[in-house]
Structure 1
């Protein structure tokens, strides 16, 4: 989409050949021009730049009170030499990268002891070939849950093959390689999460999970389906019967849309009432917002960023929303006994907030989004401090 740059960046982009011309107010028109600018920055970015960007992102996360981030991978930048033999789907976006070097900066920071917030990694693949070469390489040559408490591999997702529903496609290009890939993932015992934006996708995913389950049980693998803005009662029931978790991401908050004839979703209340294995997030950070307080506001009010009530009838309490964002999420990375709550035997992560989110008499709805951390502790170490 469109983007904005400061004066220094505007002058830099104008000096390139071919030039990228921003408006007088720093606007870049449309995704094409924005991606050109992003690619220009990628071309000059050093490992030290990437390390500093990672440190900045962790500092921002700590300020918000987020102590663990789950990374669901990225699309493949077109033309990368290391992936040409895989014939994977390629797409140049702000969510694209080199899948084999993307974590170099984080790995370097980890070796230097400079990681401050926890990172959990899911390997994303978008294989197009029937043999699923990239997924095969991942599950055969990587170790599930390899790493330590600060940086760990946690599963496969949020894609495993090229997706026949991407960009509004109707699924007509469905091929057998999706089920084949999931059979491989299941046979190797890996957790898996699949992106889904429509009811048709939900049905396709869960029916494929059901078919895989008939071959290899997925009951203990912590498989899940993510986003699900319009998941139906029938698909919720199917997910529950398979032991599949439902990860709800309320990026409809950012739509700015008017209220429609049906709730924008996700159906928080319906899923919660079903007894589903359920967790919450935002699908951040270049798709949505990393700020959990925007999402908690949306989950509890149904009101989007434009101030419109778009998810009427599907709101939940503040305590329920907070639990979904914290303790409930440990299940999705097989760390429910380590993360998400302050208990004996769990990791020493703690956040002190600037206001009492759980008390609406002290923090009315309109002020929820002003919540942030004044003290963030990870592993017993202070990583953000506004108190002393």
Structure 2
């Protein structure tokens, strides 16, 4: 008998023989269990943070006594706590500590922001603007070197979008990036085909371009950093999020989560994919992996905080022009690509990738790699397959991060191996207009291929890759799960007049599994959370509409009434209608 089965049996025995009533009862609602049968029930009873009964109002009535907190749902829907499979909370919470970063939809917005920074940053100091993706600008291109020079002639400027970006003349000069340098580094430095001069666009920039810290920016104390992270986590709760995976967790971030846990402010179940430098000396990598595998948060994780494995970067960015594809990108004014043979950038060769997976699998660490292009995805799946001959991959809960462009071969391979996939549906909404312009509709057939993954039996989990800002829709990238659900069902793209391969859309049931039980599997917590079943932890969210029957266009506007973790409320809407629930 499994540990979970034994626990459920024990729970049932306690329920049947113990006279103590429930601590919390919810009744009169539509409680979507997301159990294997996808039952919808009226009522739920909770004791000591765990679910002890589900069923009709009449069936739950025996669990109520004068001390029981009873919530009358008044017909409202309850879902298991929502989970985001991919966030970067520590960095995101710090992003606007110094000043607010306005939304930017045009090149002129970018230049206007830089003009404001020029007025306050001392001459000669660097100005760095991060993660304003060119796919989300109406002009669909990088700002040019000349445009950056025009607004900041006395400051080195770096417009960074993931691994790639655009620099002005002072930034290039400080790094010694001139015509001769570009000729020696054609993979990294884009040039004007007529003159050979650098255009300012740099790919895999960390290899060739270094910045200096802006001394004028505010430096936060440890307490201030922790307060901002706690504020962000409270906002996650506001949108029904009770679980997250940090997909590139540094040592300092791990320590920060531990401090929040100790102070009682970690109100999401948090699992960590630790950062790993993949091309370091193998002896150093093994030492690093031994340290991670011996971490108490991996060996005996806390219910709120644990380590699941590591993450590396296999290729560049789909949003920035360096994802690794089986077919050439094609020459592009959008991405500044002039070589018709260019297929993107593979950061880790196949042999090293296999060695990394083997080292992780032998320590039971979940491995994942950032893979955007279909060639990168296929390389990772093939490496998993080779290791799987000796060490079973499925038990490690290893996965593919992003996997934005896939092939039928890769989908079938992931299904066969038991490899999960962590996807960001909001990117379809924000970026597909530009991707259609670059690649055409046909190459987007397996772009964020949700239905194909579900049909193949791959465990696919929904995430955001939240990088910067606090605010579910103003953030880079938006972490509002209901926006993600709406995109998963409609395949709608902003500034585009038709759905993107509607045949890849999810059903409503799949949509909810995508943000609950599937992500719990990626967290190695599916026996504890992700569905509402007897014996599981009482993590759930009360919402204002029926997501199984409402119109498609109503999904994205869902309002959270309250969010609960271990049967304790961690968010309550302040509207009068919400207060009436109690």
Judged with a 3 Å threshold, the aligned counterparts in structure 2 of structure 1 residues 172 and 367 are, in CA distance, closer, same or farther, namely closer
C-alpha separation in 1, matches of 2:490 and 2:277: 36
* Structure 1 position 151 matched with structure 2 position 273: no
2:40 aligns with: none
* Match 1:249 to one of 403, 411, 424: 424
Specify which structure has the higher proportion of strand.
2
2:516 aligns with: 326
* Structure 1 position 30 matched with structure 2 position 185: no
Listed one character per residue, the Cα deviations across residues 269-325 of structure 1 (whole Å, up to 9, x for unaligned) are 111111223322222244522111111111000102335422322111122111111
Following superposition, the deviation at residue 61 of structure 1 comes to 0.5
What stretches of structure 2 of length at least 5 have no aligned partner? 1-99, 104-113, 130-150, 152-156, 161-165, 168-209, 324-343, 469-475
Q: Which moved more, 1:181-190 or 1:254-263?
A: 254-263
Judged with a 3 Å threshold, the aligned counterparts in structure 2 of structure 1 residues 215 and 29 are, in CA distance, closer, same or farther, namely closer
1:118 aligns with: 269
C-alpha separation in 2, matches of 1:247 and 1:11: 37
1:357 aligns with: 547
Task: Report the secondary structure of 2:252's partner residue.
Answer: coil
Following superposition, the deviation at residue 42 of structure 1 comes to 6.8
Cα contact 2:248–2:310 (8 A) shared by 1: no
* Match 2:563 to one of 356, 376, 385: 376
1:17 aligns with: 122
Cα contact 1:226–1:249 (8 A) shared by 2: no
* Structure 1 position 335 matched with structure 2 position 486: no
Following superposition, the deviation at residue 177 of structure 1 comes to 2.6
Cα contact 2:538–2:567 (8 A) shared by 1: yes
Cα contact 1:73–1:122 (8 A) shared by 2: yes
Normalising by structure 1, we get a TM-score of 0.80
Following superposition, the deviation at residue 47 of structure 1 comes to 1.0
Cα contact 1:155–1:191 (8 A) shared by 2: yes
* Match 1:347 to one of 537, 557, 573: 537
1:77 aligns with: none
1:79 aligns with: none
Normalising by structure 2, we get a TM-score of 0.55
Following superposition, the deviation at residue 173 of structure 1 comes to 6.3
Q: Which moved more, 1:219-228 or 1:207-216?
A: 219-228
C-alpha separation in 1, matches of 2:503 and 2:546: 25
Count of residue pairs brought into register by the alignment = 352
Cα contact 2:433–2:496 (8 A) shared by 1: no
Cα contact 1:327–1:336 (8 A) shared by 2: yes
Cα contact 2:244–2:271 (8 A) shared by 1: yes
Cα contact 1:225–1:244 (8 A) shared by 2: yes
Task: Report the secondary structure of 1:238's partner residue.
Answer: helix
Following superposition, the deviation at residue 208 of structure 1 comes to 0.6
1:80 aligns with: none
Listed one character per residue, the Cα deviations across residues 186-220 of structure 1 (whole Å, up to 9, x for unaligned) are 11111222221111011110111111112222232
RMSD: 3.3
C-alpha separation in 2, matches of 1:346 and 1:256: 38
* Match 1:275 to one of 428, 432, 457: 457
Cα contact 2:314–2:371 (8 A) shared by 1: no
1:312 aligns with: 502
* Structure 1 position 127 matched with structure 2 position 303: no
Q: Which structure ranks higher in relative contact order (CA pairs < 8 Å, sequence separation ≥ 6)? A: 2
Task: Report the secondary structure of 2:487's partner residue.
Answer: helix
1:239 aligns with: 414
* Larger CA Rg, structure 1 vs 2: 2
C-alpha separation in 2, matches of 1:64 and 1:38: 34
Following superposition, the deviation at residue 36 of structure 1 comes to 7.6
C-alpha separation in 1, matches of 2:428 and 2:506: 16
C-alpha separation in 2, matches of 1:189 and 1:11: 49
Listed one character per residue, the Cα deviations across residues 360-379 of structure 1 (whole Å, up to 9, x for unaligned) are 2xxx2222221131100011
What stretches of structure 1 of length at least 5 have no aligned partner? 75-98
Judged with a 3 Å threshold, the aligned counterparts in structure 2 of structure 1 residues 367 and 233 are, in CA distance, closer, same or farther, namely same
Q: Which moved more, 1:283-292 or 1:39-48?
A: 39-48
Cα contact 2:121–2:216 (8 A) shared by 1: no
Task: Report the secondary structure of 2:409's partner residue.
Answer: helix
Judged with a 3 Å threshold, the aligned counterparts in structure 2 of structure 1 residues 46 and 140 are, in CA distance, closer, same or farther, namely closer
Task: Report the secondary structure of 2:288's partner residue.
Answer: helix
> What pairs up with 1:37-186 in 2 under 5 angstroms?
44-73=219-248, 99-131=250-282, 133-134=284-285, 136-141=287-292, 142-143=294-295, 144-157=298-311, 159=312, 163=314, 165=316, 167-168=322-323, 169-171=344-346, 174=349, 176-186=351-361
1:291 aligns with: 480
Following superposition, the deviation at residue 5 of structure 1 comes to 4.8
Following superposition, the deviation at residue 354 of structure 1 comes to 2.1
Following superposition, the deviation at residue 127 of structure 1 comes to 2.6
Following superposition, the deviation at residue 50 of structure 1 comes to 1.0
